[in-house]
């Protein structure tokens, strides 16, 4: 809250400097003129380094520093990492499903065995809700994990 107040003060100060150079300090201006003036730079917080800087246009990251490229690189690596993890999981899952259930139908296997083979419960395209279960979809396969007492099973269904 304190930052917001401070920012507002700086923005106002900045506005005065940019648009009222020829006016006396503190002079009143009609409210309608505010919007028609060419927009002075706003002060924004750089989302990468947290520095307060004066932005031109819709600039999000501070100038001079590497924040923009660094932030992009970071975002990219996070996304790439996630995509490759899911792709890897999806591949492992499909391999297990194909091995266990090559033809349409149903199969049940020990969940821990599936884990040993690289099964990844987070790797699926989407979900499908049946009467009383939520299935996870990978290609033409649907899977769900069943917990019964101390045992866990992986149910596989193929269309
Ligand atoms: Zn920055």
pLDDT at 15 over 70: no
Q: Stretch 76-85: mean pLDDT, rounded?
A: 84
Q: How far is the CA of 75 from the centre of ligand 1 (A)?
A: 15
Place of tokens 């490229």: 69
Pair 75, 152 in one domain: yes
Pair 51, 20 in one domain: yes
Q: How far is the CA of 42 from the centre of ligand 1 (A)?
A: 15
Residue that is last in its domain, among 19, 36, 65 = 65
Residues with CB under 5 A from ligand 1 (ion): 46, 48-49, 51, 62, 65, 67
Pair 90, 35 in one domain: no
Q: How far is the CA of 89 from the centre of ligand 1 (A)?
A: 35
Q: How far is the CA of 32 from the centre of ligand 1 (A)?
A: 34
Pair 75, 60 in one domain: no
Pair 47, 77 in one domain: no
Q: CA 13, CA 9: separation in Å to the nearest integer?
A: 6
Name the burial class of residue 102, with classes exposed (0-12), middle (13-18) and buried (19+) by CB atoms within 10 angstroms of its CB: exposed
> What does the pLDDT look like over 83-116, one tens digit per residue?
888 889 999 999 999 999 999 999 999 999 999 9
Pair 87, 135 in one domain: yes
Q: Stretch 6-32: mean pLDDT, rounded?
A: 45
Q: Report whether 26 contacts 13 (CB < 8 A).
A: no
Pair 83, 141 in one domain: yes
- Which domain covers residue 28, as residue numbers? 2-65
């Amino acid at each position: 809250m304190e930052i917001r107040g401070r920012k507002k003060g700086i923005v106002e100060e900045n506005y005065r400097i940019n648009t009222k150079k020829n006016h006396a300090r503190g002079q009143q201006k009609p409210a309608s003129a505010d919007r028609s003036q060419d927009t002075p730079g706003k002060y924004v917080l750089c989302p990468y380094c947290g520095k307060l800087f004066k932005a031109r246009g819709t600039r999000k990251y501070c100038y001079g520093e590497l924040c923009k490229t660094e932030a992009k690189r970071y975002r990219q690596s996070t996304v790439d990492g996630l995509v490759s993890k899911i792709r890897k999981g999806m591949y492992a899952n499909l391999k297990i499903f194909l091995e266990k259930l090559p033809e349409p139908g149903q199969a049940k296997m020990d969940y821990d065995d599936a884990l040993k083979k690289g099964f990844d419960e987070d790797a699926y395209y989407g979900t499908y809700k049946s009467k009383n279960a939520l299935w996870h979809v990978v290609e033409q396969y649907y899977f769900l994990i069943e917990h019964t007492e101390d045992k866990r099973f992986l149910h596989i269904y193929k269309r």
